[in-house]
Amino acid sequence: MYRFDSAVRRAMLDIRPSCECCDADLPPESLLARICSFECTFCATCAERRLNGVCPNCGGELLPRPRRPAAKLAVHPPSTVRVCKPDGCKPTSDPAPARRPAFRSAALVVRRVAATDTSLLEPLGDLLIDAVHSGASIGFLAPVSRETADRYWRRVFSSLSDDLLLWVAEQDGVVVGTVQLALCDKDNGRHRAEVQKLQVLRAARGNGVATLLMGELEAEARRRGRSLLFLDTLLASHAEDVYRHLGWTRAGEIPDYATTPDGELFPTVLYFKQLRD
């Protein structure tokens, strides 16, 4: 006789309590847990920064772990067994996960955003939440609420001017990336500008979104007479690989500069790029 309860017990996730790489706590409600199809479990920071989104055990893609409803946890509690690799985790030899990005077939469009383009507030909020919950260190701690995301973007839109520029990348009308450029207004710094908040939707990564956004940004910086760009990013993050690929130069690092989305203090790395004619 088929018993639904026993079938559920066999099929349901263990909901493991910690990251296999760093042993960080990952409670059942965590938005930062990442798992493969075998439920190897990692935090978003390790999944993105160390493992390039690929499980080091099976080579499968690491995706956000679904959260079990609180009422079900009482009946089907999470696992208490911690799995941790004493020597840490090493990425697989293939840095790219075996997946088919959802947006690969659609044409990318990158455009400047005006302060009046308020229809973008909601999709930009979705993008911000997706970025932070996938481990991006862009000034927020997880979990990011809709209210927090909306408040941030309303503040950005109210500040858009000749000194703060914003771009979005869209595919089939979906916002899949964004970046900002803050132009220095000091008399002795009108040749430089800071790149801020480069974000790419998790499902659209690996399709050249960041490259196109940065290309538009650099072209506009040249048009405005800016010859030096700079930025900072989390040490050993995937973003470092992106900037090096795009020809940026590493200037140095600052220890314990900011916290990762899961609250760990981590160094930041400074990069610059000189724009040649």
Q: Tokens for 124?
A: 């930009």
Question: Which residues does residue 228 pair with via DSSP β-bridges, in sequence order?
Answer: 192, 274
Q: Are residues 26 and 162 in the same domain?
A: no
Q: Are residues 127 and 227 in the same domain?
A: yes
* pLDDT tens, position by position, 65-83: 888 888 888 889 999 999 9
Does residue 133 fall inside a structural domain?
yes
Q: What is the percent of the chain where pLDDT is above 90? A: 55
Does residue 10 fall inside a structural domain?
yes
Name the one residue in this structure whose structure tokens are 């690989």: 241
pTM attached to this predicted model: 0.74
Domain that holds residue 244: 108-274
Does residue 100 fall inside a structural domain?
no
Q: Are residues 68 and 190 in the same domain?
A: no
Say which CATH number the domain at 31 has: 3.30.40
* pLDDT tens, position by position, 107-166: 899 999 999 999 999 999 999 999 988 878 899 988 899 999 999 999 999 999 999 999
Q: Is the dihedral of CA 217, 222, 226, 229 positive or negative?
A: positive
pLDDT of residue 92 exceeding 60, the answer is no
pLDDT of residue 9 exceeding 60, the answer is no
Q: Are residues 161 and 59 in the same domain?
A: no
Burial class (CB in 10 A: 0-12, 13-18, 19+), 179: buried
Domain count, the chain: 2
Say which CATH number the domain at 143 has: 3.40.630.30
* pLDDT tens, position by position, 158-204: 999 999 999 999 999 999 999 999 999 999 999 999 999 999 998 89
Q: Are residues 145 and 26 in the same domain?
A: no
